[in-house]
Amino acid sequence: MLGLHRGASALALLSVVAIPSSAVAAPTNPGELINDLAPSADCNYCHAFSNQDNLFTETPYAPQTTWTPTLMANAARDPVFWAGVAIAAQDDAEHTIDCIRCHSPNAFLNGRGGATAIEQLEPDDGDLEGVTCEFCHRMTDGSVLGNAQYELDDVLQGATVARRGPWDYTDGVPQPVPGEEGHVTAFDPFTGSSEMCGTCHEVTTHRERVDARGNGMGADFNEQRTYSEWVRSDFAVSGDGFRSCQDCHMPEVPDSAACGPYNNVHEHPLGNRRHDLLGANRFMLTLLAEDALPGFEAATYELALSKIDEFVQTSATMEVTPPPSVDLGAGLQDFVVRVTNETGHKLPSGYSEGRVMWIEVVASYNDEVVISSGRWDQSTGSIQEDPDVRRYEGIAEDLESGTRNHLLLNNHWVLDNRIPPRGLQPHPETDPVGSDRYGMTPEGLWEHWDEVSYALPGAPDVQDATPDDAGDDELNVSVRLLYVINTREYIELLADDNETTEVGTEIAGRFEAMGWATPVVLAEEELTVQIASFGAVEGGTSTGEGADETTASTDPSNGSDPTSPTDTVDPDSSGSSSDTEPAAGGGGGGGGCRVGGDSAPWGLSLLLLGLVRRRRRRAA
C-alpha cells in the first residue's frame, strides 16, 4: 500500500524517510498508542483505483480493491471464529485475549481484548475491520514471532505515522514528492518478509505439550507452526528456489502502480503486490458476502472467489498410475495416486480443527458408480466411510479426557499426517505425528509427497452392458484431491458444546441452510481403465490383497485397530514416528475408518478392515 510515484501531484503524494526509533517496546499493549490506527476506508482515495492502461485487461489489483473481501479484512467478522472463542472462553477465559490480538488488533489495542462475542466490539471504532492497512504497514521488526506479539510504530513524521514498505528507491526511480493530504513512507524490509507473517501465523497455547504417555515435553503446545514449517523448508533457502509468504499469497504485478488517482503515470518497475492475501477458505467468503460491510461490494467478493479458484490449483500436483486393466469382480487393484505438496508449509497448514484434505476416488461404469473411496456427499456434508480413504489432517486433544476440538484444552497431538513442504528439516515442533507415511530423503529431510496404492473392493454384481462387444468396456475413474474447512461435524460441535451463548447454534443453522461447506478442489484427474472381466471372484468378493500395508493398517487415519498398543514408539519424538492412536474429528459425518469419532458406521469399517488383514495373513 505504499505510494511510489514518478512526477508530482497536489494530492496524496508521499515521501520516503529513514525509519526512526520506535516510541514503544514490543509488544504494543492496550492504551499505549498515541496515534490510533486509521480506518482502512481512509486509504480508499489513493489505493482503490482502476487498472492502469498497460494492465487494463488484467484482473483488478489495487490494494484496497483486493484487500476488502479477504479473510484478513473480515477476520473480526468470521462467525466460526466467534463460535470457537465462545467455547475457548468456557475452557480457559484468561487466554482468549490472544485470539482478539490476531483477529481484531484495533479492539485489543483499545482495551477490548477480553471480548468473547462480536457484540462486545465497537463497529464505529473500527473493531470489525480485522487486520487493517495501517496495522500491517505500521508493524516494526521489534515484533516477536508468534501469538500476535506485534510492535507498532507510533512516531509522527509530519502529520501522520509513516507507512512502512519494502521499496527503497535505490533503483533510480525518483522518490515521491510530499503532498498536502498524503502520508510519509518509510523503507522497511520487514514489511515484505515472512517474519512479519510469522507474527500471527505461529500460535502456541498455554498448556504444556505431552507425549502419548502423558510425559511433559518441556514446551507449550504448538497449535500452529505455519511459519516454522516455512523457515525449515527449501522455500526459505536463499537462491532461485526462495519464496516468501508474500511471493505466493501476495504475488507481484510488474510495472504496476500502488496508488492513484494518477496511477497511469506512477508505475514502478518492481510492481505493486496484489493484496488478495489468498487462502482456501472459499465457503466462508461466500457466507460473509451475504452481509458485507458498506464499501465491501459484491463484485470484490466475486473477484476474490475467482482468485481463490486459481490459487488453490497451485498447492499440489497429483499423479495417477492405473493398472492396465481391471477385473470388476476383484476390484480396483494396484491403482497408485501420488500427491506432492507444492506449498511452502504443510498441506494443509494452520488452524487444524474441523479441517481435512483427502483423496476421492470414484469409478463408474455405464453411468453408475461401482467402486469408490472417500466419495464426497454434498447433500449430507460428509465423506464416505471406507477403510481405504486417504485423509490428511491434524488432530489434537486433551490427553487425559480425550476432549477434541477445544483449542485451549489441547496438549497432545494424536495425529498429524499433513504433507510436509519440500525440504522440511526434522524438528519436534513440525515433524509428522502418528503416521509413517513420510520417509526421509538421502539428505535427511522429510519427503514432501505421499503415495498410496489402492486395492479397492470389487463390484461382483455389475453386469456387462454390451456382452456382444467383447473388450470394449471401460471403467471411468475420477480422482480428486479435496479440502474442506469447517466440516459439518465441527460446525455441529460448535453448537453442541456451547453452554453459554447461541452463536454456535446460529452458525450451524446458516451452514445447514447453505448446504454445508463445499470442498475446494486442489487437483483432479479423470481417466479410463479397460475392463478385462465382470462378475464375482471365485471364493467371494475381492478383499484387497496386495494393498499398501501403510494404507490399510498402520496409518491411524486409514483405519488402525483401536485395540493395538499406542505407546510402542514415542509419537512426539523428533524423526519418524508411529503413534497408532485412532483418528477422529473433522470430515463432517465421517470419512475413512475414523474409529475414534462419532460416526455410526465405524464398526462396519473395522469389520471390513479385519477381513483384509485376515486375507493378508493367509496369503503370507
Residue whose C-alpha is closest to residue 398's, from 86, 59, 92, 4: 92
Residue 29: how many other CB atoms lie within 10 Å: 13
- Mean pLDDT, to the nearest integer, of 442-461? 97
In angstroms, what is the C-alpha Rg of the chain? 26
Contacts of residues 297-300 at CB distance under 8 Å and 24 or more positions apart, as own/partner, are 297/68, 300/65, 300/66, 300/68, 300/69
- The whole-angstrom separation of Cα 428 and Cα 577 is 10
Q: What percent of the chain has pLDDT over 90?
A: 66
Residue 466: how many other CB atoms lie within 10 Å: 10
Residue the block writes with cell 481403465? 529
- The whole-angstrom separation of Cα 47 and Cα 64 is 5
Q: Is the confidence at residue 562, as pLDDT, over 80?
A: no
All cell numbers assigned to 254: 510488474
- Mean pLDDT, to the nearest integer, of 169-178? 62
Residue whose C-alpha is closest to residue 55's, from 306, 338, 254, 296: 254
- The whole-angstrom separation of Cα 564 and Cα 579 is 10
Q: What is the DSSP letter of 35?
A: S
Residue whose C-alpha is closest to residue 588's, from 391, 384, 407, 383: 383
Backbone φ/ψ region at 263: left (φ over 0), alpha (ψ -120 to 50), beta: alpha
What band does 121 get if pLDDT is binned at 50, 70 and 90? very high
Q: Is the confidence at residue 192, as pLDDT, over 50?
A: yes
Cα angle 320, 321, 327 (rounded to 5 degrees) comes to: 120
- Quick one: CA dihedral 440, 423, 483, 90, positive or negative? positive
pTM for the model stands at 0.84
Cα angle 44, 50, 55 (rounded to 5 degrees) comes to: 135
All cell numbers assigned to 409: 484444552
φ and ψ at residue 361, rounded to 5 degrees: -120, 120
Q: Is the confidence at residue 606, as pLDDT, over 60?
A: no
So what's the pLDDT on residue 54?
Answer: 80
φ and ψ at residue 526, rounded to 5 degrees: -120, 140
What band does 597 get if pLDDT is binned at 50, 70 and 90? very low
Give the CA distances from residue 206 to residues 91, 416, 575, in Å, rounded to whole numbers and listed in that order.
Answer: 12, 20, 25
Cross-strand bridge partners of residue 392: 357
**What is the 3-state composition of the chain as percent helix, strand, coil, each rounded to the nearest 5?**
25, 20, 55
φ and ψ at residue 47, rounded to 5 degrees: -115, 15
Pairing, β 15-17 against β 184-187: parallel
Residues in the chain: 620
First to last CA, the chain: 65
What contacts 212, CB < 8 A, 6 or more positions away? 399, 412, 566, 567, 570, 571, 572, 579, 581
- The whole-angstrom separation of Cα 85 and Cα 107 is 15
So what's the pLDDT on residue 459?
Answer: 93
Residue whose C-alpha is closest to residue 582's, from 553, 610, 544: 553
So what's the pLDDT on residue 290?
Answer: 84
So what's the pLDDT on residue 588?
Answer: 36
- Mean pLDDT, to the nearest integer, of 182-189? 84
So what's the pLDDT on residue 269?
Answer: 61
Report the interhelical angle of 298-312 vs 282-289 (nearest 10°). 170
- The whole-angstrom separation of Cα 343 and Cα 355 is 17
Parse the chain into domains and list their residue ranges: 15-308, 316-619
What's the distance, CA 386 to chain centroid?
25
So what's the pLDDT on residue 316?
Answer: 98
Model pLDDT for residues 388-411, shown as the tens digit of each residue: 999 999 999 999 999 999 999 999
So what's the pLDDT on residue 176?
Answer: 57
What band does 535 get if pLDDT is binned at 50, 70 and 90? confident
User: How confident is the prediction for the chain on average, in pLDDT?
Assistant: 83
So what's the pLDDT on residue 23?
Answer: 45
- The whole-angstrom separation of Cα 408 and Cα 200 is 17
So what's the pLDDT on residue 177?
Answer: 55
- The whole-angstrom separation of Cα 408 and Cα 221 is 9
Give the CA distances from residue 600 to residues 52, 95, 494, 566, in Å, rounded to whole numbers and listed in that order.
Answer: 58, 35, 20, 23
From 105-119, 258-272, 534-548, the region with the lowest mean pLDDT: 534-548
- The whole-angstrom separation of Cα 382 and Cα 588 is 5
Instruction: Please name the helix (run of DSSP H) or strand (run of DSSP E) that holds residue 45, with its range, or none.
Output: helix 44-47
All cell numbers assigned to 89: 472462553
